[in-house]
């Protein structure tokens, strides 16, 4: 495994970075700027990033999990409020189920077709539900269901609204084999891990910038050892999570499905454990202003909390790793 980006992957990373630096949210007030949000949505749409997992001529994805992770990480860094997680996972469901005729563009609209997630006994939720009208839901037995979205649900994440999926109007449109279901799970865990890593990077950048500007006792607070240690510890958390992410992203398409899930689950558990710490460090470095609505720190924290909950945080994913190792029930 070579974790170095290819020339094409570096170009993709730079393109995503330019888009998010130009159109991402730099202040809490930007989240209410509909013109900016529309421009970002159009940029993501025209880039084709939502179709990275569309099938090629042989039925495989046109891009690997690495490319998806690259985009997801940059969107998380810039608090992008344009849908990506939901449409990308829905595209992967479509490809794996080969259900393009049942849920084609004319039926639901590829751009606004989302993947929904559900825990046993709980309502299904669609993520990235801004202006969406339908969703695909993967049941535990591998059945793929298409359903309309009628009820908006509250979201702790200010950048990604959610919607409840009613039990009515659901139509079975396909099914996945166990191997394909595992492959989809590995991709979903990898995307959410990439989002966590990106959000951590954004939060740390915010804290470092503030530490270099805020002056106390005649010195920048970033020069104080206690603050420097906080920021250094946060960087260590990010670099460890990113290393695990790179392996998980590569493994989505290169490892056997059970191994891909285990790699992605390990990365998700590592990132989920560090994300809250990094975001709370950002708030702490900002001092009193870090607890105010106007500071972006809480937006990063909110985004990481939702990304952590999607397919579980530390506990559920460590359980996946143990189960893969034949040690289920020993968490």
Instruction: Please state the domain extents for the chain.
Output: 179-324
State the pLDDT at residue 108.
Answer: 40
State the pLDDT at residue 68.
Answer: 98
Answer whether residue 167 shows pLDDT above 90: no
Answer whether residue 10 shows pLDDT above 90: yes
Q: How confident is the model at residue 85 (pLDDT cuts 50, 70, 90)?
A: very high
Question: How far apart (Å, rounded) are the C-alpha atoms in residues 257 and 43?
Answer: 33
What dotted CATH number matches 179-324? 1.20.140.10
Answer whether residue 111 shows pLDDT above 80: no
């Amino acid at each position: 495994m070579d974790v170095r980006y290819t020339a094409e992957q570096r170009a993709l990373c730079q393109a995503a970075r330019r888009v998010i630096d130009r159109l991402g949210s730099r202040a809490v007030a930007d989240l209410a700027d509909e013109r900016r949000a529309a421009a970002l949505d159009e940029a993501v749409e025209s880039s084709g990033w939502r179709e990275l997992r569309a099938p090629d001529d042989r039925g495989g994805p046109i891009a690997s999990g690495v490319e998806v992770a690259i985009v997801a990480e940059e969107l998380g860094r810039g608090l992008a409020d344009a849908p990506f997680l939901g449409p990308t996972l829905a595209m992967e469901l479509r490809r794996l189920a080969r259900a393009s005729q049942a849920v084609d563009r004319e039926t639901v609209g590829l751009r606004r077709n989302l993947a929904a997630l559900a825990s046993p006994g709980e309502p299904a939720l669609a993520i990235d539900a801004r202006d969406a009208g339908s969703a695909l839901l993967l049941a535990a037995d591998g059945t793929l269901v298409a359903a309309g979205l009628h009820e908006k649900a509250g979201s702790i994440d200010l950048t990604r609204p959610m919607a409840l999926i009613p039990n009515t109007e659901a139509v079975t449109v396909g099914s996945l084999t166990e191997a394909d279901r595992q492959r989809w799970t590995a991709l979903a865990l990898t995307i959410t891990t990439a989002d966590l890593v990106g959000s951590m990077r954004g939060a740390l950048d915010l804290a470092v910038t503030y530490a270099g500007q805020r002056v106390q006792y005649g010195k920048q607070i970033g020069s104080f050892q206690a603050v420097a240690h906080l920021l250094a510890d946060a960087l260590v958390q990010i670099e460890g999570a990113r290393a695990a992410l790179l392996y998980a992203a590569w493994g989505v398409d290169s490892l056997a499905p059970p191994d891909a899930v285990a790699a992605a689950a390990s990365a998700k558990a590592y990132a989920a454990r560090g994300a809250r710490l990094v975001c709370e460090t950002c708030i702490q470095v900002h001092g009193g202003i870090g607890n105010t609505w106007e500071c972006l720190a809480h937006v990063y924290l909110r985004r990481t909390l939702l990304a952590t909950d999607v397919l579980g945080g530390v506990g559920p994913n460590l359980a996946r790793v143990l189960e893969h190792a034949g040690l289920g029930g020993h968490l």
